[in-house]
Amino acid sequence: MLNVVVLVSGGGTNLQAVIDGVEKGSITNTRIAGVISNNQNAYALTRAQKHNIPGICISPKMFETREKFNEKFLEAVDVIGPDLIVLAGFLVVIPPAMIEKYRNRIINIHPSLIPSFCGTGYYGLKVHEAALARGVRIVGATVHFVDEGTDTGPIILQKAVEVQQGDTPEALQRRVMEQAEWKILPEAVDLIANGRIIVEGNRVKRL
Ligand code: GAR
């Protein structure tokens, strides 16, 4: 059984997709052991509560230094002892010590087709604003393992979505979530839970 901790900052629709996958059986061999938010008011914490999943808040704002936060954050994760850490709209930089300790056991959902519209400064709605400003016709989402870079780790799954005439950033964000994110994030968790992928260098191999 894969023990998963999900890290969130906001609405938690991707968390919901994973919860639904586990409850409905499209994700097997998986238990969501906890949810950690850096934002006490994140609706994601309410979603966790509704499904009897323990949720806690830990934020850099609660500590005098980033080092102290990083230390306590790692401790909070270690207490849960996850096999997999899922970043589902988590907007805090993962401490290097956590990346090292949980190498190839942290995955992230990013709302673009990496390597487009990713890296520092590209998160949430900004990604969709940039895609519309550039005039691309195809966007999408990516699930990847987390390494020391920003959105640079091995890619697990990607799914493309078409831009439509008259799209606003909000409309595009919603379509990318519905058509891509909420599908590929649960699928990636299921693949990992069932030992269906391995990492070879910076590439993921499907077994
Ligand atoms: C999602 O679109 C996710 O891909 C994005 O934040 C949103 C969170 O929504 N993540 C990033 O931009 C990370 N760089 P949610 O809280 O409803 O899942």
How does pLDDT run across 109-124, given as a tens digit for each residue? 999 999 999 999 999 9
Contacts of 52 (CB under 8 A, 6+ apart): none
Q: Which CATH architecture has domain 1-102?
A: 3-Layer(aba) Sandwich (3.40)
Specify the ligand 1 atom closest to the Cα of 111.
Answer: 4
Determine the Cα angle at 78 with ends 69 and 114, to 5°.
75
Polymer length in residues for the chain: 207
Average pLDDT over residues 131-145: 98
Residue bearing the CA closest to ligand 1, atom 12: 123
pLDDT of 117: 98
CA of 125 to the centre of ligand 1 (A): 9
Compute the half-sphere exposure of residue 160: CA atoms within 13 Å on the CB side of its CA.
7
| pLDDT confidence of residue 135 | 98
β-pair type (2-8, 84-87): parallel
User: Measured from the CB, is residue 45 less than 6 Å from ligand 1?
Assistant: no
- Cα torsion 22, 98, 203, 178 to 10°: value is 40
CA 90/CA 74 separation, integer angstroms:
15
pLDDT level of residue 200 (50, 70, 90 thresholds): very high
Distance 109 CA to ligand 1 centre (A): 7
Whole-number pLDDT of residue 134? 98
pLDDT for residue 195? 98
d(CA 12, ligand 1 centre) in Å: 8
Which of 181, 183, 189, when mutated, tests ligand 1's pocket best, judged by the most ligand atoms within 8 Å of its CB? 181
User: Strand (E) positions, the chain?
Assistant: 2-8, 30-37, 55-57, 84-87, 106-110, 138-145, 155-162, 197-200, 203-206
Q: Residue 30 has what pLDDT?
A: 98
Active-site residue set: 110
Distance 206 CA to ligand 1 centre (A): 25
Give me the mean pLDDT over the 144-166 stretch: 98
Q: What is the pLDDT of residue 150?
A: 97
Give me the mean pLDDT over the 163-178 stretch.
98
| SS3 track for 57-80 | ECCHHHCCCHHHHHHHHHHHHHHH
Tens of pLDDT along 10-55?
999 999 999 999 999 999 999 999 999 999 999 999 999 999 999 9
Share of the chain above pLDDT 70, in %: 100
Where in the chain do CATH 3.40.50.170 domains reside?
1-102, 108-207
Per-residue pLDDT tens digits for 46-91: 999 999 999 999 999 999 999 999 999 999 999 999 999 999 999 9
* Any ligand 1 atom below 6 A from CB of 10: yes
Domain 108-207 has CATH 3.40.50.170: yes
Which of helix, strand or coil describes residue 140?
strand
Q: What is the pTM of this model?
A: 0.98
Identify which of 204, 131, 143 has the alpha carbon closest to the alpha carbon of residue 170.
131
Q: Looking at residues 135-150, what average pLDDT do you find?
A: 98
User: In this predicted structure, what is the pLDDT of residue 190?
Assistant: 98
- Evaluate: CB of 140 within 6 angstroms of ligand 1: no
